[in-house]
C-alpha cells in the first residue's frame, strides 16, 4: 500500500477496522512522524448523517488534550472521504490482553480502572462522553499507560451541569460491562 491522503499522509498498512471506518498506520510526511489515519468507509461517507457525525465528533475529540486519550492531530477530506489523523499508539487493546491473559493481579486491574476513570473525569469536565467504552476501545501502551482510542465515538453533550456530563443509561451500561469483565478475571 502506498496511498497518500491529503498530499501529506502516506498510508503504510491497515491496522484496524470497525463498523464506521478503517484505521491505517501512516507517516506524516510534513513532520516525519508515524500517525494513525482513520478513514470513514466510502458507503458511510455518502450518508449525510454519518458524515455530519464523523465531522462533529472529530472536532470534539480534537479539543481534548490528555495523556489518557489518544490525541487527534488533524482532520479533513480526501477525494470526498473524511479522515482523522491521530497519535499512533504502540500497544494492545484491553480486549486483546483479556484474550491473552486469564487473570490480572488486583494491582494491574486497579491501574486499568483508575486510568479509565481519570480519562473519563477529564473528558466529562470538558462536556464530552465516550459512548462506547469497551475493552476494544481501551489501549494499554507498551509502557503500561491507559489510553482511550476510537475518539470518533466521543460526543459533545449539550446538557452540562457544573462542568460534569450527566450519566446516560447506555453509557453507564457499557462502563459497568467493561469493569465487570476486568473484575471477573482477577
* Residues forming a β-bridge with 5: 9
HSE-CB of 79 using CA atoms within 13 angstroms:
8
Q: What is the 3-state secondary structure (H, E, C) of the chain?
A: CCCEECCCEEEEEEEEECCCEEEEEEEECCCCEEEEEEEECHHHHCCHHHHHHHHHHHHHHHCCCCCCECCEEEEEEECCEEEEEEECCCEEEHHHHHHHCCCCCHHHHHHHHHHHHHHHHHHHHCCEEECCCCHHHEEEECCCCEEECCHHHEEECCCEECCEECCCHHHHHHHHHHHHHHHHCC
Chunked into runs of 10 residues, the chain (186 residues) has average pLDDT values of 91 88 94 94 85 80 88 90 92 91 87 92 83 85 88 50 39 47 46
User: Which domains, from first to last, does the chain contain?
Assistant: 4-87 (3.30.200.20), 91-184 (1.10.510.10)
| pLDDT at site 34 | 97
With contact defined as beta carbons under 8 Å apart, do 152 and 54 qualify?
A: yes
> Which of 43, 47, 78, 132 is flagged as catalytic?
132
Q: Is the dihedral of CA 166, 168, 171, 173 positive or negative?
A: positive
Q: Is residue 72 packed enough to be buried (19+ CB in 10 Å), middle (13-18) or exposed (0-12)?
A: buried
pTM for the structure as a whole:
0.77
Active site residue 132: yes
Nearest to 149 by CA among 109, 176, 119, 113: 119
**pLDDT score for 126:** 84
Q: How far is residue 116 CA from its own chain's centroid? A: 12
Q: Is residue 45 within 8 Å of residue 80, measured between CB atoms?
A: yes
Q: What is the pLDDT of residue 170?
A: 41
Confidence (pLDDT) at 154: 52
69, 138 in Cβ contact below 8 A? no
At 13, list the grid cell. 498498512
The pLDDT assigned to 186 comes to: 43
Amino acid at each position: 500500500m502506498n496511498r497518500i491522503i491529503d498530499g501529506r499522509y502516506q498510508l503504510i498498512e491497515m491496522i484496524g477496522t470497525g463498523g464506521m471506518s478503517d484505521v491505517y498506520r501512516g507517516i506524516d510526511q510534513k513532520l516525519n512522524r508515524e500517525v494513525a489515519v482513520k478513514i470513514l468507509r466510502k458507503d458511510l461517507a455518502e450518508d449525510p448523517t454519518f458524515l455530519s457525525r464523523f465531522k462533529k465528533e472529530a472536532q470534539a475529540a480534537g479539543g481534548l488534550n490528555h495523556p489518557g486519550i489518544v490525541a487527534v492531530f488533524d482532520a479533513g477530506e480526501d477525494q470526498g472521504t473524511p479522515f482523522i489523523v491521530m497519535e499512533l499508539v504502540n500497544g494492545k487493546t484491553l480486549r486483546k490482553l483479556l484474550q491473552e491473559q486469564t487473570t490480572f493481579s488486583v494491582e494491574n486491574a486497579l491501574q486499568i480502572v483508575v486510568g479509565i476513570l481519570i480519562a473519563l473525569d477529564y473528558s466529562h469536565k470538558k462536556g464530552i462522553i465516550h459512548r462506547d467504552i469497551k475493552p476494544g476501545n481501551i489501549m494499554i501502551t507498551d509502557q503500561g499507560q491507559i489510553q482511550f482510542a476510537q475518539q470518533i465515538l466521543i460526543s459533545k453533550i449539550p446538557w452540562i451541569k457544573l462542568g460534569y456530563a450527566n450519566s446516560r443509561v447506555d453509557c453507564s451500561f457499557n462502563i459497568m460491562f467493561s469493569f465487570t469483565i476486568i473484575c471477573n478475571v482477577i
